């Protein structure tokens, strides 16, 4: 009876591990869904906004005061933010003993909150409107969001060695380069002359989103590997528990 109880407890451990992995995987997949929600919102809003240029106008102009597609893009960004929060929780659950990865989840949650307030509470003004206090706060919020994302990417690179580290560093360089290029291009917004501002910013944004997808896949694969190791340990413990009784019977 004692041996049976040991086997059952090992089975319970594996069942809990499987359930935790399923829940964790669902949260991590939410990160990929977050990218999809944002991309769909960006494309639809840009196409529905008459006169808007995906190449020459930045994404924030879709949620700007006076934008006819502001409700649509805000809905997409809200869905994106909620899914990203779920993804961040999944990262935190999967961090294990990794101190650096343990901070990535809270940083992504903080970036989602800042991003929400930046777009909803402090949107930029449309080009034909006079700049206001919200424009200043929008710029500050974007800077804070960028800081949170930058630190999260650095910590993720520290957590995972191998090819993921140089990939993360390369993505950071892309973000810095094209983010700067977009900011310079937006210098002519008063003259309504911002060539490639939107194109540069979208390269920046979707490079980050691609990194999020790669991070999600990487963490999912590591989690699967951890479960396999855990299963092997449990099976070994069961075998060791049964071994004495088999020897005694022999």
Average pLDDT along the chain, 250 residues, taken 10 residues at a time: 49 57 90 98 98 97 98 97 97 92 96 95 95 96 97 96 96 97 95 96 98 96 61 44 49
Q: Residue 245: what pLDDT? A: 47
Chain centre to alpha carbon of residue 118: 17
Q: Cα–Cα distance between 241 and 239 in angstroms, integer?
A: 5
Q: Is residue 21 helix, strand or coil?
A: helix
DSSP-assigned beta bridge partners for residue 209: none
pLDDT attached to residue 237: 44
CA distances from 19 to 14, 23, 90, 163 (A): 9, 6, 13, 30
Which DSSP letter does residue 121 get? T
**Coil, strand or helix at 97:** coil
Alpha-carbon gap, residue 87 to 26, rounded angstroms: 8
Nearest CA among 109, 122, 148 for reference residue 60? 122
Tokens of 147: 């800081």
pLDDT of 222: 85
The reported pTM is: 0.84
Domain presence at residue 249: no
- How much is the pLDDT for 106? 97
Is 209 a member of any domain?
yes
Does 165 reside within a domain?
Answer: yes
247 inside domain: no
Domain of residue 25 covers 2-242
- Geometric angle at alpha carbon 157, from 154 and 160, rounded to 5°: 150
Asked if residue 248 belongs to a domain, the reply is: no
**Number of domains the chain contains:** 1
pLDDT score of 232: 44
Phi, psi at residue 67, to the nearest 5°?
A: -75, 130
């Amino acid at each position: 009876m004692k041996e049976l109880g040991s086997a059952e407890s090992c089975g319970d451990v594996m069942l809990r591990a499987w359930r935790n992995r399923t829940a964790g995987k669902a949260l991590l997949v939410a990160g990929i869904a977050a990218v999809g929600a944002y991309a769909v919102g960006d494309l639809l809003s840009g196409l529905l906004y008459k006169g808007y240029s995906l190449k020459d106008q930045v994404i924030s102009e879709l949620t700007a005061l006076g934008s006819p597609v502001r409700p649509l893009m805000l809905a997409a960004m809200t869905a994106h933010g909620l899914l990203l929060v779920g993804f961040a929780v999944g990262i935190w659950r999967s961090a294990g003993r990794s101190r650096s990865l343990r901070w990535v989840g809270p940083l992504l949650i903080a970036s989602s909150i800042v991003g929400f307030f930046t777009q909803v509470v402090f949107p930029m003004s449309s080009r034909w409107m006079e700049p206001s206090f919200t424009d200043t706060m929008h710029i500050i919020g974007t800077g804070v969001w960028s800081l949170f994302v930058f630190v999260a990417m650095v910590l993720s690179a520290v957590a995972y060695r191998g090819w993921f580290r140089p990939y993360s560093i390369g993505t950071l360089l892309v973000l810095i380069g094209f983010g700067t290029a977009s900011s310079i291009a937006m210098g002519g917004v008063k003259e309504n002359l911002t060539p490639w501002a939107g194109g540069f910013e979208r390269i920046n944004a979707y490079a980050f989103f691609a990194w999020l997808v790669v991070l999600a896949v990487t963490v999912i694969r590591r989690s699967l590997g951890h479960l396999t190791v855990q299963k092997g340990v449990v099976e070994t413990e069961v075998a060791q528990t049964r071994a004495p009784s088999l020897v005694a019977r022999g």
